[in-house]
A = this chain, B = another copy of it.
Amino acid sequence: MLKLTKKVDYALLALNLMAKTEEGGISNVRDIAALYSIPPEILAKVMQKLSKSGLIQSHNAPKGGYSLKLPAEEISVLKVLVAVEGPVGIVSCSDGTDKSCQQRGQCDIRSPLEKLQNNILWFLEALSIRELGQEPAVLKGVTDGSSLFGQPLHHKG
């Protein structure tokens, strides 16, 4: 729950690698998959989705592969996420699929949850694959959250 899928993980690894190569450099699925021990067939599918979404450019030929289609700064984690897994929503009622939930008629928590969701999406959008390889400036300031897991911190004061 609330977890990124393995496919997204793979996409981010691949894109991060491509972002670190020189401008317009070409990488192919086999090499990336081997480097990160990713099943090649899965990575292939992921790359195809990224290609369809216009984030990367395919070169279908021997010695071909993929290259970034946009500057690494303009490829956000959210874009990657949407490209690979489709629309994102933390609650069933607001993820694009309008299969109305049973509780919707009586639900009085939708609005705040959607705002929470928008905040999360904003963060995902604010983080680019360029920043994955660096210290992500946009995330500075909240780095002490490791204590949040089992024993959530008390922030209210």
Contacts and interface: CB of A to CB of B under 8 A. Distances in A.
Contacts of A81: 1-2
Interface in A101-157: 101-103, 106-109, 112-128, 131-136, 139, 142-146, 148-150, 152-156
A119 B145 contact: yes
Interface residues of A, number: 77
Contact of A142 (B2, B115, B124): B115
Contacts of A89: 2-3, 149
Contact of A152 (B78, B136, B150): B78
How many chain copies does the complex carry? 2
Interface in A30-76: 35-38, 73-74, 76
Given A2-B4, A3-B95, A102-B37, A156 B132 contact: no
Given A13-B109, A103-B9, A109-B13, A149 B88 contact: yes
Nearest to A77: B116
Contact of A78 (B125, B135, B142, B148): B148
